[in-house]
Amino acid sequence: MLGGTRITYLGHATFRITTAGDEQIIIDPFLADNPQTPDELKQVGELDTILVTHGHFDHIADAVPLAQQTGATVVANFEICNWLGTKGVENTFPLNKGGTGQVGGVKITAVNAHHASSITEEDGTVIYAGEPCGFILEFESGFKLYHAGDTSIFGDMRLIGELYGPDLALLPIGDRLVMSPFEAAHAARLLGVRHAVPIHYGTFPFLPGTPEEFKKQAQSIAPDLIVHVMKPGEELSS
């Protein structure tokens, strides 16, 4: 299914992807202060592309230093790309919801997400960071990955499934600030996806959802769903 793509879970909502062509991608870079990320994976080395779903610290914390160290292209909404420019990041690729762009060998589409988005500066100032999004990544092999970002469930997930047909969905299950396991199971049903990885849970006390509850809910709501529970540092590959 993965067509040679390797997907490594770095904890929370952060993933490292190595394409069949050896391009290196990080989604929602939260590494240095992420309590779930194994120490040996906090240093990423070479990096081609960084994707940011929204401005909250647990999704963007390492975007600036990684972009400056590696020269990677950062894909994010227009507002976040503007903010990154004020921090000295030179290579950005603005992509708003409904837009599709080719970055290296990967076609990336920004899709809807229902959440908040802001950036807290070092002095405590909170600035608007545009609307949050999810991403559909289509690789050269035809494999399609959906990273939902932080979101609640919404009915147009069915439309995302119809338009893009993702093979694997990375779905938040933490509850309180994102979908609960119950809602995430319904999201998988709406998407019509066969494979899902639960993310964004357990990192902080206010994210009580569990993969066990997600699997339990999916048994009745989306019985054909295959749930891959990944520990930080684990990899899916083919």
CATH of the domain at 197: 3.60.15.10
Is residue 211, in this structure, part of any structural domain at all?
Answer: yes
Is 238 a domain residue? Answer: no
Asked if residues 153 and 184 have their Cβ atoms less than 8 Å apart, the reply is yes
In this structure, the answer to whether residues 91 and 45 fall within a common structural domain is yes
The answer to whether residues 162 and 71 belong to one domain is no
Pair 120, 183 in one domain: no
For residue 1, what pLDDT is reported?
Answer: 87
Question: Based on the domain organization, do 120 and 177 belong to the same domain?
Answer: no
Same domain (yes/no): 5, 91: yes
The mean per-residue pLDDT over the stretch 225-237 comes to: 97
Same domain? For 40 and 128 the reply is yes
Of the pLDDT bands very low, low, confident and very high (cuts 50, 70, 90), residue 162 is very high
Q: Using the predicted structure, report yes or no on whether residue 108 has a pLDDT greater than 80.
A: yes
Q: Are residues 91 and 165 located together in one domain of the fold? A: no
Whether the pLDDT of residue 80 is over 90: the answer is yes
Mean pLDDT of 212-217: 98
Domain span at residue 31 reads 1-98+114-134
Residues 83 and 180 in one domain: no
> Number of folded domains in the chain?
2
Model confidence at 238: pLDDT above 80:
no
Residue 205 lies in a domain: yes
The string of pLDDT tens digits covering residues 170-190 is 999 999 999 999 999 999 999
121 lies in the same domain as 197: no
| Residue 146: inside a domain | no
User: Are residue 119 and residue 167 in the same domain, yes or no?
Assistant: no
Domain annotation covers residue 53:
yes
Within this chain, do residues 173 and 122 fall inside the same structural domain, yes or no?
Answer: no
156 in the same domain as 90: no
Average pLDDT over residues 7-22: 98
Task: State pTM to two decimals.
Answer: 0.98
